[in-house]
Copies of this chain bind each other. A is one copy, B any other.
Amino acid sequence: MSTPTHHGPSRGRPANAIPTPQAPPPDILRCASMELVVTDLAASRKFYAEVLGLVVTEEDESTIYLRSFEEFIHHNLVLRQGPVAAVAAFSYRVRSPEELDNAVAFYEELGCRVERRPEGFVKGIGDTVRVEDPLGFPYEFFYDVEHVERLAWRYDLYTPGALVRIDHFNQVTPDVPRAVAYAQDLGFRVTEDIRDEEGTVYAAWMRRKPTVHDTAMTGGDGPRMHHVAFATHEKHNIIAICDKLGALRMSNHIERGPGRHGVSNAFYLYLRDPDGHRVEIYTQDYYTGDPDNPIVTWDVHDNQRRDWWGNPVVPSWYTEASPVLDLDGNPQPLVARTDDSEMAVTIGADGFSYTREGHEGEGHDLPSWKQGEYKLGNQL
């Protein structure tokens, strides 16, 4: 059976779910921008603007606003100089100015700290709501935004690895089903997830725009930011980024990949920026906009779930992530995951994982090239 199991869209709501507010959630269009606090603005500018080629819309001595080539809003990434590398905002665009009222009501009913600034928190964006959400993440909602030139046709400016869109966020949180229930209340729909036979959920992908995700929930000590992802047009663009990092002797910024995801079916690359913030480069997932879009559930023991080619996931990818800030700019304390960790269950005491049922444990009697698992050996 080469393809993952397709389940229907409904799952039971967990017993410890955050109560669903009576207030309607804000109508979110898409993930739109992330605000990163960086400790060396010049180093970060070099990484994002010179190496990755994101376009600087505007900048001053403390802050840089960047966007991707197909974007028409002011920015998709804000780099702000600060004392500790962290994430200050996961920013979503909503469908209309009125949706900010909904955001305020929704989060106030949840008992969250909510701050609304009609003048915005950052340049280029007007009326904005920021909240400390029930999972501890700094979520931002806005509609008013400065329009800038969509550079889609400006092939004179493209680099071989041009980033054309912001695609998604990925958040680390200890209790994935609880996080999913909250995100569904906020209007997100699950497209894929990773589970085991006992029902433990290791990660889930959720979308507003009709791609595989606008954000994902990854099980681990949280709240932390796992990565922010930008899209290229084609796979060779991602390879070009690797080649350029090699030429600049910055290959240590390549953490994992490139490869093909099982989940999402996209081609991917994970980088670490000068502060260790993780950035994914991503291309070619699929349309998910129908209400009955089939959810794809992957077995945590399927060795192709994270990399379709079975290439191993480096431990740092599982264990490291960025702190997130509260609305005062202080790092949020972490809550430890109590469910099984994906890394622990997929890499056993003998250092081997398995791709197919029944293969577990037989690896040692086989020559390496006959083991479905040999590539994962000795990862820990």
Contacts and interface: CB of A to CB of B under 8 A. Distances in A.
Nearest to A8: B147
Interface in A237-264: 239-240, 242-249, 251-255, 258, 260, 262
A209 to B, nearest CB: 6
Interface stretch (A17-25, A334-342, A372-380): A372-380
Interface in A49-102: 70, 72-73, 93, 95-96
Contacts of A236: 234-236
Contacts of A258: 258
A2 interface: yes
A12 interface: no
Interface in A149-174: 149-160, 162, 164-165
User: At the interface, is chain A mostly helix, strand, loop or mixed?
Assistant: loop
20 contacts: A2-B154, A2-B246, A3-B153, A29-B289, A93-B290, A147-B292, A147-B294, A158-B240, A165-B286, A235-B236, A239-B267, A243-B260, A243-B309, A246-B308, A246-B310, A251-B372, A254-B311, A258-B258, A316-B369, A378-B380
Interface of A: 2-4, 6, 29-30, 70, 72-73, 93, 95-96, 147, 149-160, 162, 164-165, 209-210, 233-236, 239-240, 242-249, 251-255, 258, 260, 262, 265, 267, 272, 276, 284, 286-287, 289-294, 303-304, 308-311, 314-316, 320, 355-356, 367-375, 378-380
The 4 A-B pairs at the shortest CB distance, nearest first, are namely A251-B310, A272-B369, A155-B243, A246-B308
